[in-house]
Structure 1
Amino acid sequence: MSQNLKFINTTQSAFFATVRKRVDSYFKEQGISKNGNVRIWVKAAFFLLSFFTLYFFILSGSFSAWATLGMAAALGAFAAFIGFNICHDAIHGSFSGNSKINRVLSYLFYLIGANPYLWNISHNIVHHTFTNIPGHDEDIEVAPGLIRLDESEKVNRVQRYQHLYAFWLYGLASLSWVLRKDYVKFFQKQIGQHTKSHPKREYFNLFFYKILHYFLFIGLPLLLLNLNWWQAALGFLVMHLAEGMVMGLVFQLAHVVEGTAFPLPNNQGNVEEAWADHQMRTTANFAPQSSLASFLLGGLNRQIEHHLFPKVSHVHYPAISVIVKQTAQEFNLPYLESKSFWTAIQSHYKVLKKLGKEAYEKQTAGIAAINPA
């Protein structure tokens, strides 16, 4: 990455100032905190209890091989739900008004194989600032060379079929994270345009908690159960495939659907619109009226509200979404949403096909026109 980007509010948009004032007024009038309330603690207890119950059932060795494998998949799904509902809010500082509680709960990221320190940089700082900007938002860099999301990138022969294989690759997201991604990000010179020397304790945390994760989910089953090494590895693989599929789909449906933009900066490295306006063009909601989606996904089905107000706990998104949508309409800004999870999947599929197969056909036709036989 060669440029340092800046957002230049060329239209003097007052959208964010207006919507922020209205949201602040809502919390003041209601007399409630922007942090989590009793509902988020109930959710946290439910997901943690479910996760550890599944884990101890597996370690008990009381179930058949197929049932144990099924529980490993469920364990992976609940790991993702812990990340969405607890760690995500905690690392953003919105789970609780107490910073110590947020810090302690953020450590649960280690349990599911991820590193909260690196996530804070790559997600909170980089992704939330430079959303969907190719070369700057590393959250949209999914399997480079295999999945194309940047229209300025030349499409290759393999990417013609990305609409067919991308969904399967998403299952590898968690496995890549726990075995590769955090190590690569930690030792690369910068993440996005964020450059920082890491505190010494973070070197220890990176390796110690990765080893602890491997021990808890590979080593301990090998010690306590009558398993071959490949059986323990298979359980670990299935757990992370399930976790990766849940995570991958949620991340993609929020930013890579019909209508979302992938803007490029000008030659001076400026994005010529206000930051909040940019968020409205690059972010989408899905299944916003689904209570089940909101419960399981920690409000990440309402990404618009999250991107505008990351310091507000997800339990408040349904209420403030009314304010955000109305204000967006007043300022003639898009408010992108898919009515259901399935329609969002379909929309994502169409975008993958457009940027893969259809782009390849246009590129090939253009080359043929320039170089006729």
Structure 2
Amino acid sequence: MSVPKFAASRSFHTELKRRINDYFEEVGKSTTGTSSLFVKAVVLLVAFVFLYVHLVFFTPPVLLAVLECMLMGGVGAAIGFNVMHDGAHGSFSKSKFVNSFAAFTLNVMGGNSFMWNMKHNLIHHMYTNVDGVDDDIDVQPWMRMSSTQPRHKLHRFQHLYFWFLYSLLYIAWIFVMDYQKYFKGKIGSMPIKKMSFSDQSVFWGFKALHLVLFIVLPIYMLGFVSWMIGFLAFGSVAGFTLSLVFQLAHTVEHAAFPMPHEITNKLEDEWAIHQIKTTANFATHNKVISWLVGGLNFQVEHHLFPKISHVHYPAISKIVKQMCEEFNIEYNEYPKMRYAVASHVSFLRQMGRA
């Protein structure tokens, strides 16, 4: 499908940006990360390196090794949420170099920052939940994430087997999906821009580095079977954690899945209102969850202001809520994470049977 267009009116977004800018001027803060974010980044990165070194070079007993692999998967996901994600959006630091360094943690973990920028920053953040454009809701034929997608008999049980597919995300991402995008030159139906020599070098160079760090060296040190068990434990936890957090933001019962008009190819709302309708927050008062998921439980604020660091989302969420009340726009929020999970499961059940 061709790229849809948003409604011309931008009065809501203009006023919202003005109020957010006023807030940062009043409090005298930068929109980027604070010292607490840098400390958290160091803690997470050091923890990941420690677990890796201990597992590969000091070989703990089997049970402890498996538990450490699972913990490393959780820490790896936390690095993605807190460090890579802000860095890729340019909100981690005022320094472009520091942002690039933070974003490059994805390359070390086996992904690719170029592909992520195209898929997440440019496509998902622009056309959220638009079937045929937003690749994040294209899990076909395994799952049905929108009423506009074809339904197969298998989908009747997707609310039961989703956890297994989510656990495969990280492994499929680094070993399959990045290469599909690279060789097809497309993300879903959307073409990607031509990769420069530097982009190509980063893609293949870091894929080779990941192969050495996470496959060749562990197999050499530990043996194939031990590596396989550990890597699956690590990858499954990382994949499930990443999948669940991002899915709770958009594929829940109260999130909208707008489609453009068949003739005009225009979406009903302006971009900012579209983001609010297609997105949901969860557990925003739980500081532990907020710390672990890098503020991605404030997904509404993130989609409206991706270049503002997540450390500021609790404060600006009050402004966004007030604006939604004034403009009579529904602000989707689940007070607890378990409510959001239940809504996601219910949504999958509906999509599988509708």
Q: TM-score range by the shorter chain?
A: over 0.9
- Per the alignment, residue 67 of structure 2 pairs with 70
In the alignment, residue 343 of structure 2 is paired with which amino acid? S
Deviation string 1:237-288 (CA, Å, 9 cap, x unpaired) is 2111110010000010000111101111112321121000100110000111
- Per the alignment, residue 366 of structure 1 pairs with none
CA–CA separation in structure 2 for the residues paired with 1:210 and 1:60:
22
In the alignment, residue 243 of structure 1 is paired with which amino acid? A
- Per the alignment, residue 98 of structure 2 pairs with 101
Once the two structures are superposed, the pairs formed by residues 10-25 of structure 1 within 5 Å of their partners are 12=9, 14-25=11-22
- Per the alignment, residue 173 of structure 1 pairs with 169
CA–CA separation in structure 2 for the residues paired with 1:13 and 1:121:
25
CA–CA separation in structure 1 for the residues paired with 2:185 and 2:231:
31
CA–CA separation in structure 1 for the residues paired with 2:97 and 2:204:
23
What is the SS of the residue equivalent to 2:173?
helix
- Per the alignment, residue 56 of structure 1 pairs with 53
Distance 1:195 1:115, change over 3 A: closer
CA–CA separation in structure 2 for the residues paired with 1:328 and 1:238:
42
Stretches of structure 1 that go unaligned for 5 or more consecutive residues are 360-373
What is the SS of the residue equivalent to 2:333?
strand
In the alignment, residue 242 of structure 2 is paired with which amino acid? M
CA–CA separation in structure 1 for the residues paired with 2:229 and 2:347:
33
CA–CA separation in structure 2 for the residues paired with 1:228 and 1:211:
20
CA–CA separation in structure 2 for the residues paired with 1:113 and 1:80:
12
- Per the alignment, residue 42 of structure 1 pairs with 39
In the alignment, residue 133 of structure 2 is paired with which amino acid? H
CA–CA separation in structure 2 for the residues paired with 1:256 and 1:4:
21
- Is 1:250 aligned to residue 249 of structure 2? no
- Whether the 8 Å contact between 1:126 and 1:194 is mirrored in structure 2 is no
In the alignment, residue 261 of structure 1 is paired with which amino acid? A
| Of 187-196 and 266-275, the range deviating more from structure 2 | 187-196
Once the two structures are TM-superposed, the CA of residue 62 in structure 1 deviates from its matched residue by: 4.3
- Whether the 8 Å contact between 2:3 and 2:133 is mirrored in structure 1 is no
CA–CA separation in structure 1 for the residues paired with 2:294 and 2:85:
8
Once the two structures are superposed, the pairs formed by residues 210-289 of structure 1 within 5 Å of their partners are 210-224=207-221, 227-267=222-262, 268-289=264-285
- Whether the 8 Å contact between 2:137 and 2:146 is mirrored in structure 1 is no
Deviation string 1:280-325 (CA, Å, 9 cap, x unpaired) is 1100001111101110001001000000000000000000000001
What is the SS of the residue equivalent to 1:351?
helix
Once the two structures are TM-superposed, the CA of residue 61 in structure 1 deviates from its matched residue by: 2.7
Deviation string 1:162-182 (CA, Å, 9 cap, x unpaired) is 010012210111011110111
- Per the alignment, residue 7 of structure 2 pairs with 8
Q: Give me the TM-score of the superposition, normalised by structure 1.
A: 0.92
- Is 1:317 aligned to residue 313 of structure 2? yes
- Whether the 8 Å contact between 1:132 and 1:140 is mirrored in structure 2 is yes
Deviation string 1:125-175 (CA, Å, 9 cap, x unpaired) is 000000000010001112x11110121223111111001001221011101
- Whether the 8 Å contact between 1:115 and 1:206 is mirrored in structure 2 is yes
Aligned length, in residue pairs: 352
CA–CA separation in structure 2 for the residues paired with 1:105 and 1:308:
21
- Per the alignment, residue 82 of structure 2 pairs with 85
- Whether the 8 Å contact between 2:218 and 2:227 is mirrored in structure 1 is yes
- Whether the 8 Å contact between 2:275 and 2:304 is mirrored in structure 1 is yes
CA–CA separation in structure 2 for the residues paired with 1:210 and 1:288:
36
Once the two structures are TM-superposed, the CA of residue 222 in structure 1 deviates from its matched residue by: 2.4
- Per the alignment, residue 206 of structure 2 pairs with 209
CA–CA separation in structure 1 for the residues paired with 2:16 and 2:204:
42
Question: Which of 287, 293, 297 pairs up with 1:291?
Answer: 287
CA–CA separation in structure 2 for the residues paired with 1:348 and 1:104:
34
CA–CA separation in structure 2 for the residues paired with 1:74 and 1:100:
29
What is the SS of the residue equivalent to 1:240?
helix
| Of 327-336 and 149-158, the range deviating more from structure 2 | 149-158
Percent of aligned pairs with the same amino acid:
39
- Per the alignment, residue 190 of structure 2 pairs with 193
In the alignment, residue 118 of structure 2 is paired with which amino acid? I
What is the SS of the residue equivalent to 1:6?
coil
CA–CA separation in structure 2 for the residues paired with 1:235 and 1:62:
11
CA–CA separation in structure 2 for the residues paired with 1:222 and 1:167:
28
